[in-house]
Amino acid sequence: MKIIEVSNGLMAKLADQSNYDGIWISSLCESANKGLPDNEIMSLDSRLQTVREVRRATSKPIILDGDTGGTTEHFPFVIQEFEKAGVDIIIIEDKVFPKKNSLLEDAIQILEDVDIFAMKIMAGKKVAKNIKIFARIESLIAKKSVHEALIRAEAYIKAGADGIMIHSKQKVEAPEIIEFMEKFKKEWDIPLVAVPTTYTLPDDHKFDIVIDANHLTRANISVMKKFLNGEKVELANVQEIFDLVGK
């Protein structure tokens, strides 16, 4: 599956007409579109409103960037609310609350204890009906080894995770991602997710889901800056807006 980031209903309507298989609601891009930093400052109600807005605009599957998922005690409530709002998959990352964005160059990334994060997954699975819970492994972001990442994957799968995301900010080819993928696929047959923001994947990769996790927001920023600086950009006509959202 190929997934594209959206942060509002208009983006979702455009994505709905594209060849992408599904939607990614990124906490980075959602917060950026609200003029906020990506550090779990957004309220649950705000995030639910975005999900409802996106769900109204598309019939494609929605994968939500669930940050850390909050506390183990709160996570079951979070799962129930996002499931009711229309999320198909929620992905939570194994860092301590409040998380720091994984792509920050100078951030010290603190990983959650494996057992605590596994208990959070189990707590969510107890109340999940149709929504799937994926675990996002941040070992490589925290400069740990592929072996450590695989140990975490095993623990999260045993806890009931429906899928795994492996994250990296290595540049160009990211051999650690390929190593993880190859070893993972020998052991487990559940969905594996990649987010190639800073690196590229070979054509013969075996990832089940690949997410373009911030590309529409980055494209928006680029075009808006050019327009504001007086550079010539190609603008959609007003009729295109009517065609997307109605008259």
DSSP state string for 41-55: -S-HHHHHHHHHHHH
Kindly tell me if the per-residue pLDDT of 31 is higher than 90. Answer: yes
Kindly tell me if the per-residue pLDDT of 89 is higher than 90. Answer: yes
pLDDT-based confidence at residue 33 (cuts at 50, 70, 90)? very high
Structure confidence at residue 105 (pLDDT)? 81
Residue 26: which region, alpha, beta or left (left: phi > 0; alpha: psi -120 to 50)?
beta
Kindly tell me if the per-residue pLDDT of 88 is higher than 80. Answer: yes
Which is catalytic among the residues 16, 21, 38, 106? Answer: 38
pLDDT-based confidence at residue 166 (cuts at 50, 70, 90)? very high
Q: Supply 127's token pair.
A: 């109340």
Q: How, if at all, do strands 163-166 and 89-93 pair?
A: unpaired
Structure confidence at residue 174 (pLDDT)? 87
38 is catalytic: yes
Mean pLDDT confidence for 187-191: 97
Structure confidence at residue 103 (pLDDT)? 81
**Cα–Cα distance, 232 to 115 (Å, whole number):** 54
Kindly tell me if the per-residue pLDDT of 104 is higher than 80. Answer: no
Q: 211 versus 104: which is more confidently predicted?
A: 211
Kindly report the CATH number that applies to the domain delimited by 2-245: 3.20.20.60
Q: pLDDT by residue (tens digit) across 143-153? A: 999 999 999 99
Residue 19 makes CB contacts below 8 A (sequence gap 6+) with 2
